[in-house]
Every structure is written in C-alpha cells, then in structure tokens.
Amino acid sequence: MKRLFANFDWGLLISALVILVFGLVIMASIAADFLPQQLISAFLGLLFFFVFASLDYRIFLKISLLLFIGCLVFLLVPLFFGTITRGVLRWIQIGNFTLQPTELVKPSLIIFFAAFFSSKQQLNFKEISRGIFCLLLPVFLIFFQPDLGSSLVVIFFWLAIILAAGLSWRWLLAGGLLLLFFLPFSWHFLQDYQQQRISSFLNPAQDPLGASYNLIQAKVAVGSGQFWGRGLGRGTQSHLQFLPEHHTDFIFASFAEELGFVGSAILILLFAFLLWRILVIAQKTKDNFGFLISIGIFSFLFTQIFINIGINLGLLPVTGIPLPLVSYGGSSLIATMISLGIMENIASQAKVKYNIPHV
C-alpha cells in the first residue's frame, strides 16, 4: 500500500472524487430518497477502486479470455433471472440490490479487447475478423435486451482500441463504407420505441406529449437554469416531476437547472481534466497492453459523457446512458471506479523505475 501511494496519480483520484461529490450533492437535492443507496454504492466503488489500484494490471493479460467468457455468461443471466423494468430486461435483483450486467462487464470487455489486440503483431484480415466476431457476441446480447446505448459504448471503445493497436487507414475506410451500406437496414432491427426516439429527435414537434416529451423537458430544464442556476432544491422540472428520469439519464439537465451554466461548465471541466489525466497516463505507459487498456477506458468514459450530455442538451436522440460518477445507479458507479482503479495501477506501474517487457 505504501508503494501504491508513493506512485499515486492524485489528479485522477481527486478529480473523480470531486465529480462524485457533485453527483451526491445534486442527488440529495433532487432525489433524497435515493441518496442512501447511492452513498452505499459510492463506498463500494471506492473500495473496488483501491482493490484494483493495488492489483498489477498485467495479471489480467493471462485471464483475459476467462474474463470474456464470464462477461458473456453474466450478460445471459438477465434472460433467465432478470427483472423487467419499463419493458426492458437489463437488471438482476439480489435482495435489496439491483445489478445491471451491461454496466459491470464494460471494464472486463476493455481488458479482453486490449489483451486480444496487444498480442497481434499485424492486424490482417483474419485477426480483424476474429476481433469483429468477439465484438458481436457481447454487443448482440446487450442490444437485444434491448440496450442500444450500451451497445454503442462497447462498439466505440472497441473501435478506439483497434485504432490504437495500429489499424491501417485502408481497413478503416473499408469498414466505414461497409457501415454506410448497412446503416439503412439497421432501422428494421430497432425496437418501436427506439425508432420513435430517433423520429422525435429529428422532429420534436411531432409528438411533444409522447416520444418527444423527455427531450423537450430536458431542454427546458437546462434553459431554465440560465447562468447561475435556480439554486439547490429549487429546480422546478425535477422537483415537480416534469422531467422523467431526473436522477438517472437526465441528471445533467437537473444539475444545469439548479447550478446553471457556471455549475455545468465546472462539471464539464472536471470531466475534461479526468479524461486528460487518463491520456497522460496512456502516454507514459511502458507496454502495449496497458496503453490499449488506457485508450479503452478513455473512450468508454468519453463516449458515455458525450452521449449523456448531448442527449440532455437535445443534440442527440434519447437513449439510456448514465453520466459517469453522477447518475444514480450502483452498477455504473462501481464499473467506473473499477476502471479508474485499473488506470491508477497503470499510472503507478509507469512510475516504477524498471522496464516492462513489450506484450
């Protein structure tokens, strides 16, 4: 433990803790009944953070395949023992606790994809095909829950890892053209409510009391905060229940209403600092495996932050994506803290004065 703190990246931990405190403060204001559960999740998240910060991340290289298989099995569990909430099957009820496998598997999937591509000397057609197959297995299990948002997050951090591993621009161009070709057909695989969300995003006036309601109320909440905000406990959209999911998917809109542009800007700057620290650690990492994990965790957090805030500002279609460290939800909070704990260990290992063999 002494060695861990001797090489600690305090900027990473402090920025994460400040963001977490911001989340707890806004939770106490807009959804006080959920605060005790979130405090428990925060404690568990910190515990997992220090556990993973003390574990040498290179041990995961040997068990990456087992982690991947465990992810697939865990994603299958809701199909047999899951709880249906709002028409979707994403959660597992264990006593008073609710787990969301799609959130908890993300750090393990990042580790597996980093291990898979770090061992490849050259990304040829065979290796890329194998990588795509490994991607599709968890993505299909997540997509058909249905959970389009988490599916996109997994796809994006997979893309970031394979690009960082040295994917040729020719393969990237070919993949982009193939995606454009199949994109129109993907519409038919979406659930009815997902199609309605996209249609309402393109034309919010089409169904203001139905599919467009969440989007409109979020924009009203953000706008009503103006520059300084209404103040804690004074947000009408959340306290009067006009804004649905005001403590989960739309917590940024609640945050912006009560703390205004100033508070929102500070929160975004804190996220930017946290992401910057991850990139700094990635740059200093001495082995390819650690580098790819760092890029995967960066893209995982960046994608969720970008999509969540974009939805709350009305810039993206509505999909269920939590805001890391801020939104209510133990599974998301614990997964984020595990990821940051791994990053802390990578930072500590990079500061140790010995050479790490290239994987």
Tally of domains within the chain = 1
* Model confidence pLDDT, tens digit, residues 79-98: 777 666 665 666 777 766 77
Look at the block and give the residue holding tokens 């899951």: 82
**pLDDT tier for residue 213 given thresholds of 50, 70 and 90:** confident
* Model confidence pLDDT, tens digit, residues 254-290: 999 999 999 999 999 999 999 999 999 999 898 999 9
Bigger pLDDT: 354 or 86? 86
Determine the residue type at 119: S
Asked if the structure places residue 359 within a domain, the reply is no
Asked if the structure places residue 297 within a domain, the reply is yes
Do the bridges between strand 97-99 and strand 82-85 make them parallel or antiparallel, or are there none, so unpaired? unpaired
Return the pLDDT at 236: 82
Asked if the structure places residue 358 within a domain, the reply is no
* Model confidence pLDDT, tens digit, residues 46-63: 999 999 999 999 999 999
By CB neighbour count within 10 A (0-12 exposed, 13-18 middle, 19+ buried), where does 6 fall?
A: exposed
> How large a percentage of the chain has pLDDT more than 70?
81
Identify the domain containing residue 246 by its residue range: 2-351
Q: Does residue 356 register a pLDDT over 60?
A: no
Return the pLDDT at 332: 94
Radius of gyration of the chain from its Cα atoms, rounded to whole angstroms = 20
pTM metric for this prediction:
0.90
d(C-alpha 344, C-alpha 359), whole Å: 20
Please tell me the chain's helix, strand, coil percentages from 3-state DSSP, rounded to the nearest 5.
70, 5, 25
Asked if the structure places residue 357 within a domain, the reply is no
**pLDDT tier for residue 202 given thresholds of 50, 70 and 90:** low
